Amino acid sequence: HVFDNSANASKAVAHEIKKLIEDKQKENKSCVLGLATGSSPKGLYAELVRLHKEEGLSFKNVISFNLDEYYPMKAASIHSYVRFMNEQLFDHVDILKENIYIPDGTLEKNEIAAFCKEYEAAIERVGGIDLQVLGIGGNGHIGFNESGSLQNSRTRLVALDHSTRIAASKEFEGLKNTPRTAITLGVSKIMDAKRVILLAWGESKSAIVAKAVEEGMTNLVPASFLQEHQQVDFILDKEASSNL
Ligand code: GLP
């Protein structure tokens, strides 16, 4: 779906999410959202906050699982995805704190494997992800599933690509301060989501969007695995679609 600009696209996606949340409310069910960080979903979160404040959209039945977190990372750090999610969305809506799940960047190394297993089990216990929001990295990563990630990869600690670290280094004031590793939901759990919406804006994403959508599936471009997903939408602005 190609929109004139990212603001209109974000509004359309926010309305889809509103509808899903409200449909679930009518059935007295929870709505399980898989959420992403990065610049791409910021407009979507801003619109969801507006829908909460101005149109009474409640998040009381929402359970959210974030895709990833840098490791190591303190929750209170200005760079943490915990902080990002609080600032962009959670602090401004009525989601229950106990329904928010974000990979824990403060674990000891030897605790990570068990944590990742439990993170996936928690998703299973609530019936799986109803809707997964994704961005796309310049190299085609989804979450922090970098090039080389397998389609059946699980939630795990990963090494970040040099290109990903360079992209992040602006926020970390230099490459030497940029984390080398992260915890990410695996490709297999992303593929298990009932519905996937990938957001991409701007000319800089146009080449990788074209690769993910139009070229063969390859683990060099993990977003290309989405070609096998039963219900996936790529939401693009004009610039991001310019190579299709
Ligand atoms: C980071 C995140 C991804 C995100 C990607 C793209 O690497 N871990 O989940 O999709 O960046 O970020 P942006 O939306 O800022 O382009």
Instruction: Kindly give the residue spans of alpha helices, DSSP state H, lying in the chain.
Output: 6-26, 42-55, 81-88, 112-125, 162-169, 187-192, 206-214
Residue 9 lies in a domain: yes
* CB 40 near ligand 1, within 6 Å: yes
Residue 242 lies in a domain: no
User: Crossing angle, helix 42-55 and helix 6-26, to 10 degrees?
Assistant: 50
Band the pLDDT of 128: cuts 50, 70, 90. Answer: very high
Quote the CA–CA distance of 183 and 8 in Å, as a whole number.
32
Residue 120 lies in a domain: yes
Q: Give me Rg for the CA atoms of the chain.
A: 17
Band the pLDDT of 231: cuts 50, 70, 90. Answer: very high
Quote the CA–CA distance of 165 and 168 in Å, as a whole number.
5
Range of the domain at 32: 2-237
Residue 130 lies in a domain: yes
Quote the CA–CA distance of 26 and 45 in Å, as a whole number.
23
Active-site choice (146, 173, 214, 215): 146
Quote the CA–CA distance of 238 and 47 in Å, as a whole number.
20
Task: Write the CATH number for 66.
Answer: 3.40.50.1360
* CB 38 near ligand 1, within 6 Å: yes
- Residues 93 and 48 sit within 8 Å (Cβ to Cβ): yes
Is 146 considered catalytic here? yes
Residue 243 lies in a domain: no
Mean pLDDT (whole number) for 93-120: 98
pLDDT tens, residue by residue, 40-90: 999 999 999 999 999 999 999 999 999 999 999 999 999 999 999 999 999
Overall domain count for the chain: 1
User: What is the CA(142)–ligand 1 centre distance, in A?
Assistant: 8
Quote the CA–CA distance of 39 and 78 in Å, as a whole number.
15
ipTM score: 0.95
* CB 37 near ligand 1, within 6 Å: yes
Residue 20 lies in a domain: yes
Band the pLDDT of 164: cuts 50, 70, 90. Answer: very high
User: What is the CA(111)–ligand 1 centre distance, in A?
Assistant: 25
Please state, rounded to an integer, the average pLDDT across all residues of the chain.
Answer: 98
Residue 27 lies in a domain: yes
Do you know the residue count of the chain?
244
Mean pLDDT (whole number) for 106-124: 98
136 CA closest ligand 1 atom index: 10
User: What is the CA(128)–ligand 1 centre distance, in A?
Assistant: 22
Residue 92 lies in a domain: yes
